[in-house]
Amino acid sequence: MELGFVILYVNDMDKAKAFYSEVLGLTIVESISSPHFVTFRSQAGSLLSLQDNAMAKFPPKLETQGGSIEVSFAVDDVDSTWKHWKESGVNMVSEPEDLPFGRYFMAKDPDGHYLSVYRFAKQPVIAPQNALQAN
């Protein structure tokens, strides 16, 4: 099994779309987007989608409060990303700090979803898929 993408349910699609494209710099994938569902691709190729909560057909639309998810972004320079986001008016939850795994900070998007930015101190070695299945 492979994680395909993450979908965030948002209350203001225009505001969320501008945030993820203009502030975070993600690229819209037009071929799998519509006015009520927008998919973004990071420079590394991972996908993140926004679903307009008012137009949603599935059960998450019934949730009344957002923010119960954390989306993490790997970057080369945590501190410059923090500075850019802060200057862009992003709701910053914490300042950059060194943790046992590396450098990290947390913020929130316009709907209250937690966003974390990190840089591992040492890049982890992840076993190939078939090596995991052998155990």
Task: Report if residue 27 sits inside a domain.
Answer: yes
Task: Report if residue 132 sits inside a domain.
Answer: no
* pLDDT band (50, 70, 90) for residue 135: very low
Structural domain for 80, as ranges: 5-124
Task: Report if residue 133 sits inside a domain.
Answer: no
Task: Report if residue 87 sits inside a domain.
Answer: yes
Contact between 19 and 52 (Cβ < 8 Å): no
CATH number of domain containing 17: 3.10.180.10
Task: Report if residue 33 sits inside a domain.
Answer: yes
Tell me the per-residue pLDDT of 10-39, one tens digit each, with 9 for 90 and over: 989 999 999 999 999 999 999 999 999 999
Q: DSSP for the chain, please give it.
A: ----EEEEEES-HHHHHHIIIIIS-PEE-GGG-BTTEEEEE-TTS-EEEEEEGGG--SGGGG-------EEEEE-S-HHHHHHHHHHTT-EE----EEETTEEEEEEE-TT--EEEEEEESSPPP---HHHHHT-
**0.85 surpassed by pTM:** no
Task: Report if residue 73 sits inside a domain.
Answer: yes
The CA R_g of the chain, rounded to the nearest whole Å, is 16
Domain count, the chain: 1
Tell me the per-residue pLDDT of 45-63, one tens digit each, with 9 for 90 and over: 999 999 998 888 777 666 6
